C-alpha cells in the first residue's frame, strides 16, 4: 500500500484526497496489526477496534462515492479542527494533564496545514450528519447494520458489553442465576475475520480511487487459525463464584 502511495502521490504539499484515502486504510490496517500483535482480537479491545474500523470504512466509502475535492478537504479540516479544540481544552484545564496528552504535539498537528487562527472549529459532524446517513449515502447501510450497534456498546461502556465482558451467571441454584463478576474478562469470539473483511473492503475502495495494474494485495486469513466462538455466557463456571457469590 505504501508502494502504491509513493507511485501515485502528487507534488502538492497537501493532497486531501490522497492522504484521506490512504490514511483511512492505513489506520484500519494499523488497528488490525495492533490487535494481531497483542492477541487482543479475543478481548473487548477487539470490539473497540472493530467499531473504529467500521467508522473508517464507511467514511472512506462515502468520500470515495462522492469523490468531491471539497468534501475530501472538509473531512481533513474538520479533523484538524478537532485537534485544535483538544489543544485549547487542554490549555484551559486545571491540574495535571493526562499522561497521553502532549500539548506541543497537538499544537503542531493542528497547525500543520494552516495557522490555527484560520482553522474553524466545527462542533458538529463534518458532513453535518452522522455515520448512519453516510453509510446509506455510500450504499454501506448493510455493513453499518451488521457491525455498528454491538461494537458501539463496547465503546460506550453500556451494560450489554459489561455483562458480556465482566460478569458471569452464578450457578448456585439458591441464587436464582444472578450475575457475579468474573475473575478475568471473558475471552470473546475473535474479531479477526471481521477486521480482515473491513480492511479488505477499504483496499477495494483504494483500488477504485488509486488502482494500478495490479491493485493493492488483499489480506488473507490463516485457515488453521479459524476463530471459534468461545464459551457462552452461561456455560462457564466462574473461578470466583464460590467467594464472590
Residues that bind Zn ion (CB under 5 A): 170, 172, 175, 245
For Zn ion, the closer of residues 61 and 241 by Cβ is 241
Q: Which residue has the cell 458480556?
A: 164
Orientation of helix 16-38 relative to helix 44-66, angle to 10°: 160
Grid cell in block for residue 230: 468461545
Distance CA 245, CA 53 (A): 38
Closest by CA to 35, choosing from 165, 159, 196, is: 196
For Zn ion, the closer of residues 25 and 170 by Cβ is 170
**Minimum distance from residue 200 beta carbon to Zn ion (Å):** 45
For Zn ion, the closer of residues 29 and 241 by Cβ is 241
**Minimum distance from residue 161 beta carbon to Zn ion (Å):** 22
**Minimum distance from residue 183 beta carbon to Zn ion (Å):** 14
Q: Which residue has the cell 455493513?
A: 143
**Minimum distance from residue 169 beta carbon to Zn ion (Å):** 9
> Quick one: how far is CA 102 from the chain centroid?
22
Q: DSSP code of 10?
A: -
**Minimum distance from residue 179 beta carbon to Zn ion (Å):** 9
**Minimum distance from residue 236 beta carbon to Zn ion (Å):** 14
CA atoms within a 13 Å half-sphere pointing along the CA-CB vector of 76:
21
For Zn ion, the closer of residues 93 and 183 by Cβ is 183
Read out DSSP for 78-129? HHHHHHHHHHHHHHH--SPPPTT--HHHHHHHHTSSS-GGG-----S-TTSS
For Zn ion, the closer of residues 3 and 242 by Cβ is 242
For Zn ion, the closer of residues 183 and 245 by Cβ is 245
Amino acid at each position: 500500500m505504501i508502494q502504491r502511495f509513493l507511485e501515485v502521490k502528487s507534488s502538492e504539499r497537501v493532497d486531501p484526497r490522497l492522504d484521506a484515502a490512504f490514511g483511512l486504510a492505513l489506520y484500519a490496517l494499523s488497528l488490525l496489526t495492533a490487535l494481531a500483535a497483542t492477541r487482543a482480537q479475543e478481548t473487548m479491545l477487539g470490539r473497540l477496534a472493530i467499531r473504529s474500523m467500521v467508522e473508517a470504512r464507511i467514511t472512506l466509502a462515502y468520500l470515495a462515492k462522492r469523490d468531491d475535492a471539497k468534501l475530501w478537504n472538509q473531512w481533513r479540516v474538520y479533523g484538524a479542527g478537532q485537534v485544535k479544540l483538544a489543544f485549547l481544552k487542554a490549555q484551559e484545564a486545571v491540574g495535571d494533564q493526562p499522561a497521553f496528552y502532549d500539548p506541543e504535539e497537538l499544537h503542531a498537528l493542528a497547525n500543520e496545514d494552516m495557522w490555527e487562527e484560520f482553522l474553524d472549529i466545527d462542533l458538529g459532524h463534518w458532513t453535518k450528519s452522522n455515520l448512519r446517513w453516510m453509510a446509506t449515502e455510500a450504499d454501506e447501510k448493510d455493513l453499518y447494520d451488521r457491525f455498528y450497534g454491538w461494537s458501539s456498546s463496547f465503546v460506550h461502556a453500556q451494560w450489554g458489553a459489561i455483562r458480556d465482558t465482566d460478569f458471569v451467571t452464578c450457578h448456585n441454584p439458591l441464587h436464582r442465576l444472578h450475575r457475579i463478576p468474573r475473575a478475568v474478562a471473558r475471552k470473546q469470539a475473535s474479531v479477526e475475520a471481521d477486521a480482515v473483511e473491513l480492511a479488505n473492503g477499504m483496499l477495494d475502495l483504494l483500488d477504485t480511487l488509486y488502482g494500478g495494474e495490479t491493485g493493492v494485495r488483499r489480506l488473507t486469513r490463516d485457515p488453521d487459525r479459524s476463530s471459534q466462538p468461545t464459551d457462552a455466557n452461561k456455560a462457564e463456571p466462574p473461578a470466583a463464584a464460590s467467594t464472590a457469590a
